[in-house]
Chain A
């Protein structure tokens, strides 16, 4: 079977907050279904061929690392990611990766720089840092579902007209702490502020990305066989229950 080609962008420089857990989750869930998947790690100086990728992961980075990544990404890889998405590939980008894939982002010293242009969003520095658990309601894929993540960002992201939000925040700040939106979706590409790692506690989203990547690879619709996600769903529910609770913690007891 032809393997899914997953490209992990800048794993050395853009990997804070356990974002690597997303790649690990995609690898395992493919492996458990006997679907071959190869990961290619690309960093500064490497080029990306849009016809050689089914799934892209782009994580968050510290400011210093992000400033090194930004020029390389725009010069060497952004156009290829956009092309791959137009051709049907899937993308998951988180925090810094999400911001760099937007139309523009403004640095802390007020300079507005062009982004990769995949999402019609603009990011600007905010006055305060949003830190905490996030619960998002989304209808991505038809039926209503929830996503659990952890946000840690001072950048505020505003959606343009040519993009839709990933969902609405029930708990947390989301894109900008003002309009109730979180993340962005354009075709098969998702951008968001959800660390956590995101995919382990939201396995349906991992499977959605894998389905799309495999369909892109094979050129035909596919359905993945279900896995036993009891543990993952328990983890999702435990956090959702706690952060939905109006005050304090549901599970206090010995803790």
Chain B
């Protein structure tokens, strides 16, 4: 291959994008990803296609309602461990503008990518558009849950979008899907992953399950095993559709609460054992997805296992922050299934918990807070030391906890975040872990507050 052709327009566009991002950051206007992402496609709409096509190891595209940021971060960690240099979009910047911004940030002055593999998390509704620009080597479709119904509509709508988008894929794309989610397992895929350990499942679907009907024929699905939400072992009661036997399967899962999880995973390349530092069953799925993709890329088993053990979560997703003599355990909450699983994870060991729950209803959070009524807050009955509710919807959250059966004497409403954090810190004993559960924009405010007070770095340093 000869030297890359100079494309002046492309180089100029990417340069302008980088300059705008730097300027925005210097002016203290945040990470600058948004402004670059709007500028580049106006000057050079082909930038995303051109840059990703030049990547020698191709691109990986990750989409799904829950876990895409953590899975993408985990993949980035594993790709690096295998010697690759991924270029990727920033956490949460997963609309088309975020993808353009990512390629602008990761190219040199001749529009050559400063990496050899693309790794992009893409918003569910943006996926069809993104696939018009990026022809991925691996497309990972992780799950579909009810999320922000005000933005995306119903789960079947997203499933339909994805079905259409996958029909136009090239033969060179390997599709990997979660075998335990009937909504994505119904899509044609060469690679599947799932859990095969009845010990961590139940036999009843929760009331808020999103897939009771067969995505192929519309008849009722029968579940023999449910891990959480509508993820489990299912078969249609009428047609042939059933959970595919996963190519990559977790055959043993040992949940250690907020401390992590031990897993044994069977892959086509052999058995893999790892002690994940990520808690909860949802992170087992994230790990399985990453293993499946690494398998498709031919990364060695021991490299994957070592990488899994050294990885810690993405910003705000699940992290621990020391604040004087108390520890904050921060976990993003954004939809019923995700929130319920976070609750289940933080309640694994006995005792009462001190909580700070921050609910906003801005666009990025979802403007409809109805979803709080589908979260299983009943799990908190008798388990709350103090729950401080904050955010634009602080009162809604407190009402939800009251009707879940949490004693009123343990509820506090403090709409102001600074005062709410203060109140929570005072309610906890020295050495105690405080569980901070914010929605997306509340998490950004929380990061900003913790940064202002010197406890964490700014988010664009991630």
Residues of A within 8 A of B (CB): 11-13, 15-21, 24-25, 28, 62-65, 68, 129, 131-133, 150, 152, 195-197, 200-201, 231-232, 234-235, 238-239, 242, 249, 251, 253-255
Contacts and interface: CB of A to CB of B under 8 A. Distances in A.
B372 interface: yes
Interface in B185-218: 205, 207-208, 212-213, 218
A64 B441 contact: no
B146 A16 contact: yes
B80 to A, nearest CB: 36
B290 to A, nearest CB: 31
What 5 A-B pairs come out closest when comparing CB atoms? A18-B373, A21-B373, A18-B370, A235-B395, A62-B154
Nearest to A31: B405
Contact of A249 (B212, B368, B392, B449): B392
Residue of B369, B394, B417, B418 with most chain A CB atoms under a 10 A cut-off: B369
A253 B403 CA distance: 29
B445 interface: yes
A195 B149 CA distance: 12
Given A65-B212, A253-B416, 18 more contacts: A12-B207, A13-B213, A21-B373, A64-B154, A68-B213, A131-B368, A132-B150, A152-B149, A152-B368, A200-B396, A200-B400, A231-B395, A234-B395, A234-B413, A235-B395, A238-B396, A249-B392, A255-B362
B297 interface: no
A131 B370 contact: no
B403 A21 contact: yes
Contacts of B155: 62
19 contacts: A12-B205, A12-B207, A16-B146, A16-B154, A18-B374, A21-B370, A21-B403, A131-B368, A132-B150, A152-B150, A200-B399, A200-B403, A201-B396, A201-B399, A231-B399, A231-B402, A234-B395, A254-B445, A255-B445
A232 B399 contact: yes
Contact of B149 (A16, A24, A68): A16
B218 A64 contact: yes
A255 B395 contact: no
Nearest to A235: B395
B101 to A, nearest CB: 25
Interface string B364-378: 000111111110000
A17 B150 CA distance: 10
Contacts of B393: 238
Nearest to A253: B416
Nearest to A233: B395
Contact of A13 (B154, B212, B373, B374): B212
Contacts of A63: 154, 156
Contacts of A231: 395, 398-399, 402, 408, 411, 413
Contact of A255 (B207, B213, B392): B392
A254 B370 contact: no
A15 B206 CA distance: 12
Nearest to A17: B370
Chain B: interface residue count, which band? 35 or more
Contacts of B372: 18
Contacts of A239: 396
B67 interface: no
B360 interface: yes
Interface in B138-156: 146, 149-150, 153-156
A103 B391 CA distance: 42
Interface of B: 146, 149-150, 153-156, 205, 207-208, 212-213, 218, 360, 362, 367-374, 391-396, 398-400, 402-403, 405, 408, 411, 413, 415-418, 441-442, 445, 449
Contacts of B395: 231, 234-235, 238
Contacts of B213: 13, 64-65, 68
Contacts of B445: 254-255
B396 A254 contact: no
Nearest to B448: A254
B417 A131 contact: no
A142 B417 CA distance: 40
Contacts of B391: 255
Nearest to B368: A150
A24 B146 CA distance: 20
Contacts of B418: 254
A80 B89 CA distance: 56
B368 A195 contact: yes
A131 B151 CA distance: 9
A209 to B, nearest CB: 15
A132 B398 CA distance: 21
A195 B416 contact: no
B396 A15 contact: no
B156 A62 contact: yes
Contacts of B396: 200-201, 235, 238-239
Given A12-B207, A15-B207, A24-B373, A251 B368 contact: no
A24 B372 CA distance: 13
B398 A15 contact: no
A13 B211 CA distance: 9
A83 B321 CA distance: 60
B398 A235 contact: yes
Residue of A62, A68, A232 with most chain B CB atoms under a 10 A cut-off: A62
Contacts of A253: 416
A62 to B, nearest CB: 4
B441 A197 contact: no
Nearest to B405: A28
A129 to B, nearest CB: 8
A48 to B, nearest CB: 20
